[in-house]
Copies of this chain bind each other. A is one copy, B any other.
Amino acid sequence: MTTFDTLAIIGIGLIGSSIAHAARERGQSARVRLYDASPEVRARARELQLGDVAETLAEAVRDADCVVLCMPVGGMASSAAEIAADLKAGAVVTDVGGVKKPVADAVAAALPEHVFFVPGHPIAGTERSGPDAGFGSLFENRWMILCPREDARAHYAEQVERLAAFWRGLGANVDMMDAGRHDLVLAVTSHLPHLIAFNIVAMAEDLEKVAESEVVKYSAGGFRDFTRIAASDPTMWRDIFLANREAVLEVLGRFSEDLAALQRAIRWGDGDALYDTFARARRMRREVIEAGQDSAAPNFGRDKS
């Protein structure tokens, strides 16, 4: 049974194209309509047969039962304003942005009162971007966070549940969370890791004393892992850091403070302090594996032939 008869996906990148694949493969929508601001991306989406590719935003969302905003968060509020007049009364509008509180507030302000807006964020992805990057199993056993608004309408909770059922239909586990809390937790588990990966890789590309070719050649010592995360889409990440400034600056402050303590321990030869920190960090790996959030195979299993 389909959850949304007509699904409209705005923004055909990794997440948008993955939703298109998953919704059709798993029968969650009878019709999938897609739109992207780039004519090249629309043409590619047609070649990939991701669904009915519309030439305008208005055409994409007209009569849609659910509209999913899948562009970088910096463009969400203006996209919401553009589609506002064409949305069907009673439609569910949602998004997949990595920042929730400020983005959801801006999107909500742009939407008409006769739709149900339920912000969301799937904790799933790869380092790839664009319409070719998507695949239907991306959300399997990953968390989908919904951040329902304070909405007093009788049917709002019902529509939240309908959207949750849609995501469960795509294979995800659904969690409800306050938007502000989401932004703080994700600053730790996603935004800060990306920032320091971008930073170390950009730094290594720009060193005076060590050639970039040497860094690449000996990257199996740990560095290569950071290059994967740092290969993520720069526009998407620029928008995330601009939108989640306060939470990111808070956890970044704590990171730098702790790093300064390690720096000091190295300078003064305090081996006990180093050992204690390293041993504390080591324990968390097992918890991540036991929680089903990563492969237990050494080196993520990538090196075994």
Contacts and interface: CB of A to CB of B under 8 A. Distances in A.
A196 B189 contact: no
Interface of chain A, main secondary structure? helix
A224 B287 CA distance: 10
A137 to B, nearest CB: 7
A19 interface: no
A interface residue count range (under 10 / 10 to 19 / 20 to 34 / 35 or more)? 35 or more
B140 A305 contact: yes
Interface string A221-243: 11111111111101101110110
Contact of A294 (B124, B204, B224, B254): B224
How many identical subunits does the complex contain? Answer: 2
A210 interface: yes
A8 B218 CA distance: 27
Contacts of A226: 193
Interface string A132-168: 0100011010110100000000000000000000000
Contacts of A256: 256, 259-260, 263
Contacts of A195: 259, 262
Nearest to A299: B126
B225 A225 contact: yes
A291 B216 contact: yes
Contacts of A269: 242, 245
A281 B210 CA distance: 16
Interface string A271-305: 10011011111111111100101110111111111
Interface of A: 74, 98, 123-128, 133, 137-138, 140, 142-143, 145, 184-186, 188-190, 192-207, 209-210, 212, 214-232, 234-235, 237-239, 241-242, 245, 248-249, 251-252, 254-256, 258-260, 262-263, 266-267, 269, 271, 274-275, 277-288, 291, 293-295, 297-305
25 contacts: A74-B271, A123-B220, A126-B299, A127-B299, A186-B221, A188-B207, A189-B204, A189-B221, A195-B262, A199-B259, A201-B284, A202-B281, A212-B287, A216-B287, A225-B228, A230-B284, A235-B275, A242-B266, A242-B269, A242-B274, A245-B267, A245-B269, A248-B266, A252-B266, A256-B256
